[in-house]
Chain A
Amino acid sequence: MRFFIPVVIFLSVSIFLWKGLALNPQALPSTFVGQKAPAFQMNNQTEAIFKGKVTLLNVWATWCASCQNEHMFWLNLPQTADLQLISLNYHDDKEEAKAWLVKHGDPYVATLFDTEGQICLDYGISGVPTTFVIDKKGMVQHRHMGIVDKTVWDNTLLPLIKKLQ
Chain B
Amino acid sequence: MLPEIGLFCLILGFLMAVLQSVLPVLGLRYRQVAWIDSARPLALGQSFFSILAVLILVLSFLENDFSVQYAARHSNAALPLLYKLSAWWGGHEGSLLLWIFILNIWTVSVVLCSKHLPMAFLARVLVILGVISAGFYGFLLVTSNPFLRFLPLYPLDGQDLNPLLQDFGLIVHPPLLYIGYVGFAVPFAFALSALTLSDPAIPWAKWMRPWVLVSFAFLTLGIVLGSWWAYYELGWGGWWFWDPVENASFIPWLLGIALIHLLMTTDKRQSLQALTLLLALLVFIFSLIGAFLVRSGILTSVHAFASDPSRGIFLLKGLLVVVSAGLLVYGLFAKKLNVASIVEPWSRELLILISVLFLMVGAFSIFLGTLFPLIYELFTQQKISVGFPYFNAVFVPLMLPVLVLMPVGPLVKWGRNAFKEILKKMGALGIVSLFLAALLPWFLEKIFLWPVILGLSVGFWILLVTLKTGYQKVRAKGSLFALSKGAVGMLLAHAGIGVLVIGVTVVSYFEIERDVVMGVGQSISLKQEKIVFKALKKIEGPNYIGYQGHFTLSHSQHQTKDLYPEKRIFIMPGTRLTETAIDPGFWQDTYIALGEPLKNNQWTVRLYHKPFVRWIWLGALMVAMGALIAAIGRRHRA
Contact = CB atoms under 8 A, between A and B. Distances in A.
A23 B374 contact: yes
Interface string A138-156: 0000000000000000000
B574 A7 contact: no
Contacts of B374: 16-17, 20, 23, 25
Main DSSP-derived SS at the B contact region: helix
B304 A20 contact: no
Contacts of B371: 13, 16, 20
Main DSSP-derived SS at the A contact region: helix
B167 interface: no
B331 A21 contact: no
A26 interface: yes
Contacts of B324: 7, 10-11
B330 A7 contact: yes
A54 to B, nearest CB: 28
Interface stretch (B147-155, B202-210, B309-317): B309-317
Interface string A1-40: 0011011001101101111110111101100000000000
A24 B381 CA distance: 11
B95 interface: no
A96 to B, nearest CB: 12
Interface string A86-102: 00000100000000000
A65 interface: yes
B576 A63 contact: yes
B574 A63 contact: yes
B423 interface: no
Contacts of B316: 14, 17-18, 21
B34 interface: no
A64 B299 CA distance: 26
Interface string B249-288: 0000000000000000000000000100010011001000
Contact of B574 (A3, A10, A65): A65
Nearest to B296: A21
Contacts of A20: 298, 371, 374-375, 377-378
A146 to B, nearest CB: 13
Nearest to A69: B574
B377 A23 contact: yes
A130 interface: no
Contacts of B304: 26
Nearest to B297: A25
A23 B375 CA distance: 11
B309 A65 contact: no
Contact of A10 (B274, B285, B299, B569): B285
Interface in A92-147: 115
Nearest to A27: B383
A6 B300 contact: no
Contacts of A19: 378
Contacts of B378: 16, 19-20, 23
Contacts of A13: 371
Contacts of B328: 4, 7
Interface residues of A, number: 27
Nearest to A23: B377
Nearest to A15: B378
A26 B300 CA distance: 6
Contacts of B285: 10
A20 B599 CA distance: 45
B569 A7 contact: no
A44 B61 CA distance: 53
B475 to A, nearest CB: 44
B300 A25 contact: yes
B195 to A, nearest CB: 10
Query: How large, as a class, is the contact surface on chain B?
Result: 35 or more
B73 to A, nearest CB: 14
B319 interface: yes
A17 B324 CA distance: 14
A3 B278 CA distance: 9
Interface string B144-187: 00000000000000000000000000000000000000000000
Contact of B383 (A28, A63, A64): A28
B583 interface: no
B312 A7 contact: no
Given A14-B319, A16-B371, A3 B330 contact: yes
A21 B298 contact: yes
A25 to B, nearest CB: 4
Interface in B18-47: none
Contacts of B298: 17, 20-21, 23, 25
B330 A29 contact: no
Interface string B80-100: 000000000000000000000
A65 B163 CA distance: 14
Contacts of A25: 297-300, 373-374
- Which has the most chain A C-beta neighbours within 10 Å: B300, B327, B383? B327
Contacts of B573: 65
B384 to A, nearest CB: 12
B320 interface: yes
A59 B324 CA distance: 48
B330 A6 contact: yes
Nearest to A29: B383
Given A6-B278, A16-B371, A19-B378, A115 B319 contact: no
A89 B316 CA distance: 42
B440 interface: no
Interface in B336-356: 338
Contacts of B323: 10, 14
Given A10-B324, A16-B374, A26-B304, A3 B334 contact: yes
Given A3-B331, A21-B296, A16 B309 contact: no
Contacts of A64: 574
A65 B576 CA distance: 11
A25 B383 CA distance: 9
A14 B572 CA distance: 39
B109 to A, nearest CB: 28
A17 B274 CA distance: 27
B183 to A, nearest CB: 21
B292 A17 contact: yes
A14 B373 CA distance: 15
B309 A6 contact: no
23 contacts: A3-B335, A4-B328, A4-B331, A6-B281, A7-B324, A7-B330, A7-B331, A10-B285, A10-B324, A10-B327, A16-B375, A19-B378, A20-B377, A20-B378, A21-B313, A23-B377, A25-B299, A25-B374, A28-B383, A63-B576, A66-B574, A68-B574, A91-B596
The 4 closest A-B pairs by CB, nearest first: A65-B574, A7-B327, A4-B331, A3-B334
Given A4-B328, A26-B300, 4 more contacts: A3-B332, A4-B331, A10-B327, A29-B383
